[in-house]
C-alpha cells in the first residue's frame, strides 16, 4: 500500500559496477518509453532510511551484503522540469499528483558486476548497465545525482583503497585499473603498489592468477575487519 510509505521523501540509488575497465551504473527504462532513470523507492513507515536504501538496491540487483553510502540530499524545489519529465516518463495527469514535491536521499552502492541480476520494478521494463561515459539524458535530475555520487566516491577513494567493485580475490594491477577508472587518470604502478600494500588493508592469497598470457600476478583480498 502506498500509504505504508513516507511520501515526498524518496531514495535514489547510484549502483556502481566495474566491467571491462569501465565504470557502470545500473539504470531502469520506463514502461513504453525510451527514457531511463536511476532506481529509487520510498521509505516504509516502519523502516530505517538506511534499510530502505538497502532494499532498493537489493531489489534491483539481487544482492545482499551491500556496500552503501549516503552521500547527499537533493531537495531543491525545482530540481527538474516536472512537466517535461511527466511527459517523457509516460505518466498521466492523475499520477502526477503523486509527486507534489520530491526530495531524494542519494545513496551509492559498490557492487560486483558479475553477481548482479538486473531487475526492473513495477514502473519499468528494463534494467541494464550503462557506461558512465555514454549516459543518455536521464529522467529527473539523475544525471546530476550521478555526477555528485561520482565526486563523493572519488573523495572516498582518496582516503582509502576501495575494492568492493571487484571479485573477492584480485590482483594489484586490477585494483589499479579500477582506481584509475574511477579517478579518471593514470596512476604510477610502483607507487600504487607501495601505497596499497602499506595501507595494511590487503592480504596476499597463496595462489596467483593463472591463465593469462603473461606473468602470473599475486592475488589479494581485503583483510577482514578486526572484531571489536
Under rule CB under 8 A, how many of the chain's residues touch its own copies?
A: 22
User: Which residues, in sequence order, are bridge partners of residue 28?
Assistant: 37, 127
* Separation between Cα atoms, residue 152 and residue 27, nearest integer Å: 19
Q: Which of residues 182-201 bind DNA (CB under 7 A)?
A: 188-191, 193-195, 198
Contact of residue 195 among DNA, its own copies, none (CB under 5-8 Å per partner type): DNA
The backbone torsions φ and ψ at residue 35, rounded to the nearest 5 degrees and listed phi first, read: -100, 140
Strand 67-74 and strand 103-110: the pairing is antiparallel
Contact of residue 6 among its own copies, DNA, none (CB under 5-8 Å per partner type): its own copies
CB of 15 to its own copies, least distance (A): 19
* Separation between Cα atoms, residue 68 and residue 145, nearest integer Å: 15
Q: Does 167 bind DNA (CB under 7 A)?
A: no
Residues 8 and 117: beta-carbon distance below 8 Å: no
Q: Which of residues 33-62 bind its own copies (CB under 8 A)?
A: 43, 45-52
Which residue matches cell numbers 520506463? 30
Cell reading at 37: 532513470
Strand 5-19 and strand 40-44: the pairing is antiparallel
CB of 117 to its own copies, least distance (A): 27
Give the list of residues 6+ apart from residue 123 with CB closer than 8 angstroms, or none.
Answer: 28, 30, 31
Nearer to its own copies, 131 or 160 (CB): 160
Q: Which of residues 83-112 bind DNA (CB under 7 A)?
A: none
Selected binder of its own copies within 92, 93, 94, 100 (CB under 8 A): 100
Nearer to its own copies, 78 or 137 (CB): 78
| Site residues for DNA per CB under 7 A | 171-174, 188-191, 193-195, 198, 208, 210-218
Amino acid at each position: 500500500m502506498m500509504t505504508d510509505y513516507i511520501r515526498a521523501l524518496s531514495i535514489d540509488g547510484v549502483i556502481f559496477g566495474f566491467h571491462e575497465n569501465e565504470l557502470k551504473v545500473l539504470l531502469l527504462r520506463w514502461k513504453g518509453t525510451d527514457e531511463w532513470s536511476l532506481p529509487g523507492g520510498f521509505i516504509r513507515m516502519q523502516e530505517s532510511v538506511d534499510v530502505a536504501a538497502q532494499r532498493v538496491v537489493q531489489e534491483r540487483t539481487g544482492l545482499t551484503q551491500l556496500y552503501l553510502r549516503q552521500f547527499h540530499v537533493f531537495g531543491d524545489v525545482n530540481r527538474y522540469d516536472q512537466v517535461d519529465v511527466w511527459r517523457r516518463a509516460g505518466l498521466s495527469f492523475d499520477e502526477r499528483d503523486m509527486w507534489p514535491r520530491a526530495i531524494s536521499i542519494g545513496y551509492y552502492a559498490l557492487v560486483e558486476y558479475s553477481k548482479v541480476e538486473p531487475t526492473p520494478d513495477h514502473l519499468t521494463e528494463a534494467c541494464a548497465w550503462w557506461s558512465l561515459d555514454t549516459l543518455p539524458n536521464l529522467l529527473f535530475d539523475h544525471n546530476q545525482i550521478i555526477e555528485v555520487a561520482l565526486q563523493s566516491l572519488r573523495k572516498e577513494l582518496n582516503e582509502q583503497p576501495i575494492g568492493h567493485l571487484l571479485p573477492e580475490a584480485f590482483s594489484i594491477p586490477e585494483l589499479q585499473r579500477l582506481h584509475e577508472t574511477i579517478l579518471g587518470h593514470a596512476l604510477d604502478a610502483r607507487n600504487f603498489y607501495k601505497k596499497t600494500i602499506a595501507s595494511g588493508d590487503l592480504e596476499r592469497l597463496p595462489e596467483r592468477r593463472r591463465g593469462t598470457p603473461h606473468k602470473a600476478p599475486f592475488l589479494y583480498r581485503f583483510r577482514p575487519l578486526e572484531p571489536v
